[in-house]
Amino acid sequence: MSPDLDLSPPEVPEPTLLESLLRYGLFLGAIFQLICILAIIIPSSKGYEQQEESEPNDSKSADQNKKSKAPVPQIRPKLKKESKKKR
């Protein structure tokens, strides 16, 4: 071996507080994203069954609400003209 080769490890500065916070924050963000993606891919079967049971009742009550609404009375054209004149 030649005496010119320097085999000592390179000097790497210690990470600052901001760099370490950023590094761990990115790790936490990545873990959170993976959990969200897995929640979409693997839905919980318990919530899905409850949703199926409640849908038939909701559709019937929604139809009844639509039928019970009375038509909205409309303003006469004269009243509209008067309100425009007042401006």
Domains identified in the chain, total number: 1
Whether 44 is covered by a domain: the verdict is: yes
Write out the two tokens for 86: 């007042």
What confidence tens digit (pLDDT) does each residue in 38-87 have?
A: 999 987 766 555 555 655 555 555 555 555 555 565 666 666 666 666 66
Whether 64 is covered by a domain: the verdict is: no
Least confident of 5-14, 15-24, 38-47: 38-47
Whether 1 is covered by a domain: the verdict is: no
State the Cα angle at 56 between 51 and 58, rounded to 5°.
80
